[in-house]
Structures are given as C-alpha cells and as structure tokens.
C-alpha cells in the first residue's frame, strides 16, 4: 500500500480565487441588531499575518443552524455573493486579512445557547487549516457558569483566548495568536465531529 500524500502549506497562493467582495457582510445592510467582530492575526513572533483567510459560521439569532443557502454562489460580474439577497441570514463569512493582519465581519448576534462564531483560519506556513471559536456573549467573561463543553473543559487563562472582548456598543475584538504567549486555543475535530 502506498504511503499517504504528505501535507503541504496552504498559502499564500489562494489569494486570487477565494476572497471576494462582501465576504464579511453577513448581516443585512442597516440591520439594527448587527454587531462587528474584528481583530488581528499574529504569528509566533507577534507580527501581523497579512495574507491569512478566515471563514466564520454561526447559528442564526433564532438558534437555527441551517442558514439561508447561497453564500458561496458567485456573481460572475462583480465577483461577490450571488446568493445573498440582503435580507436572509446565511451565517457564513469569508474574509482576508489586510496588510496589517486585520480582519472583520458584520453579522447578527448568535443566540445565547450557541454564543460564538466558529472560525476556520488558513494562513501561510500552515499545513492544515485551524479551527477556533470567538465567543461574543459577555457571560463568558464574568465567571458565571457557561453551559458550553469547550469553555468548561479549559483552564480560565486558556478560556480567555476564545472570548471576543467587547470594545463598545455592538463591537467585539477577537485577535488570533498562532503561537507563543497567549496562543489561541485551536480545536481538533475528528471524523464525524461538527465544526459548528
């Protein structure tokens, strides 16, 4: 039996086809409940990663996980999402980091039962994409019991790397550190596990 094909780096050669306009606009325009979740991606030396790609998924505010279909259908003229009509919630975003390693999405608040955005990160030097979560519910910060198996299994200091810090009204900061002090907790989903 032949040996498995080895992994190889996943970037930065994906930049032409994957990012596209409007990828971070998950909430319908002008929606009064919209929140912004943003941050930076940093490497092990603390330098920003300017060529990372992030995908986020989340439950709709009503708790449904299906989302409206169409997030990945492209408009051949603009390169944007053909499937987004500006009204229906898809729950999916795809954004690239800018030259300073910054990324951001405008979305609707996830429900209290699933108070997080699932995040998948692709970046130079990674042989496999990484999964993490950005919890946006403030109840995860103040020490009260959180009914979440992932957070409950982590020591408090490590748990903090999964919490998006509230910066102001409807605005949350979630930095991702690939290595070193304050390294973000990354999740390992085995066969059959659901990354949401």
Comparing 168 with 67, the larger pLDDT belongs to 168
Comparing 99 with 11, the larger pLDDT belongs to 99
Mean pLDDT of all residues in 94-111:
94
Task: Evaluate whether 107 touches 119 at the Cβ level (below 8 Å).
Answer: no
What does residue 161 show for φ and ψ, rounded to 5 degrees? -75, -10
Element (H, E) at 39: strand 35-42
Q: What is the mean pLDDT of the chain?
A: 81
Residue with tokens 């390169």: 79
Q: Is the dihedral of CA 146, 149, 153, 156 positive or negative?
A: negative
Give CA torsion, residues 162, 181, 13, 105, to 10 deg: 30
Task: Evaluate whether 38 touches 166 at the Cβ level (below 8 Å).
Answer: no
Give the distance, in angstroms, between the CA of residue 20 and the centroid of all CA atoms in the same chain.
Answer: 16
Nearest to 121 by CA among 2, 14, 6, 1: 14
Mean pLDDT of all residues in 46-75:
81
pLDDT at position 21, please? Answer: 72
Mean pLDDT is highest, among 35-44, 54-63, 150-159, for: 35-44
Instruction: Say how many residues make up the chain.
Output: 196
Q: Residue 14 pLDDT more than 70?
A: no
- Any residues with CB less than 8 A from the CB of 61 and at least 6 apart, and which? 33, 89, 108, 109, 110, 111
């Amino acid at each position: 039996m032949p040996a498995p094909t080895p992994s190889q780096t996943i970037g930065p050669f994906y930049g032409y086809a994957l990012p596209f306009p409007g990828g971070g606009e998950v909430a319908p325009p002008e929606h009064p409940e919209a929140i912004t979740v943003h941050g930076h991606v940093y490497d092990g030396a603390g330098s920003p990663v300017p060529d990372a790609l992030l995908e986020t998924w989340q439950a709709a505010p009503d708790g449904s996980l299906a989302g409206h279909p169409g997030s990945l259908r492209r408009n051949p003229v603009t390169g944007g999402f053909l499937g987004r009509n500006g009204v229906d919630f898809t729950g999916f975003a795809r954004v690239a980091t800018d030259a300073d390693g910054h990324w951001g999405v405008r979305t609707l608040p996830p429900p209290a039962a699933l108070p997080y955005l699932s995040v998948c990160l692709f970046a130079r030097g990674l042989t496999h994409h990484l999964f993490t979560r950005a919890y946006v519910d403030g109840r995860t910060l103040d020490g009260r019991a959180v009914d979440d198996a992932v957070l409950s299994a982590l020591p408090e200091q490590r748990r903090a790397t999964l919490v998006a810090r509230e910066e102001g009204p409807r605005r949350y900061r979630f930095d991702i550190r690939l290595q070193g002090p304050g390294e973000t907790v990354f999740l390992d989903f085995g066969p059959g596990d659901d990354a949401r």
